[in-house]
Amino acid sequence: DSGVTQTPKHLITATGQRVTLRCSPRSGDLSVYWYQQSLDQGLQFLIQYYNGEERAKGNILERFSAQQFPDLHSELNLSSLELGDSALYFCASSVGGGGYYNEQFFGPGTRLTVL
Amino acid sequence: AQSVTQLGSHVSVSEGALVLLRCNYSSSVPPYLFWYVQYPNQGLQLLLKYTTGATLVKGINGFEAEFKKSETSFHLTKPSAHMSDAAEYFCAVRDLFGNEKLTFGTGTRLTIIP
């Protein structure tokens, strides 16, 4: 158990809908990262938040957005869902965001299925 | 941009045989390098990492990897495969400074033959 929790574990929805994925980082970790794992794209970085502020952005679609709240939990919002958004979404957390090495601990993921 | 290439999307080895999973990185400056393992229906677990210092890195579950700058490689090995090693393995890279994102390879699925 990495200490990173994600809810829900599974999510099944229809095209055009909007969903919210939630992540709680390990106690004391200030950075949260979101990754998407799909058959087409593999594992790719979406976005990072550090202490409530966006720190880095990757291949995140405009239909997707994220935020990190004062209690440091994070939410990833996916809207106007398409079949191709079906994937496993991982959250990871680390202690800092200062550029030096911080190990990222991964949650168990949320499996999103868009029908 | 940093990237890693994993040679072989599927590797099969007999139980007790040597495991060798290949990873090459693309960078003129040695980055941080990682191997992660993903068991079925589970998240990613860090096996080992290279940040600085010793080029032979030992990880969990008997795995190790050697950083070779001259070959831009970071291959993962285990002397004797066990059935419980069956999983998907990902090599990943991160810049030394700046963006902390991990860039993953395409993964290698390891099958152990009894």
Partner-chain contact B43 A108, CB within 8 Å? yes
- State the Cα–Cα distance between residues B111 and B114, nearest whole angstrom: 10
Contact status, residue B103 vs residue B94, Cβ threshold 8 Å: yes
Please say whether the beta carbons of A94 and A103 come within 8 A: yes
pLDDT of A99: 58
Percent of all residues in chain B with a pLDDT value above 70, rounded to a whole number: 100
Closest-approach residue (CA) in chain B for A95: B100
Contact between B87 and B39 (Cβ < 8 Å) = yes
Interface test with chain B among A46, A57, A101, by most B beta carbons within 10 Å: A101
> Tell me, what DSSP letter sits at residue B12?
E
pLDDT digits (tens, 9 = 90+) for A56-92: 999 899 999 999 999 999 999 999 999 999 999 999 9
How confident is the model at residue B104, as a pLDDT?
Answer: 95
Predicted confidence (pLDDT) at residue B102 exceeds the cutoff of 80 = yes
8 Å CB contact between A28 and A96:
no
Residue B42, token pair as written in the block: 């589970």
Tell me if residue B24 falls in helix, strand or coil.
strand
Q: Please give the radius of gyration of chain B, using alpha carbons only, rounded to the nearest integer.
A: 13
Q: Which of A2, A55, A104 minimises the CB distance to B102?
A: A104
Asked if the model's pLDDT at residue A14 lies above 70, the reply is yes
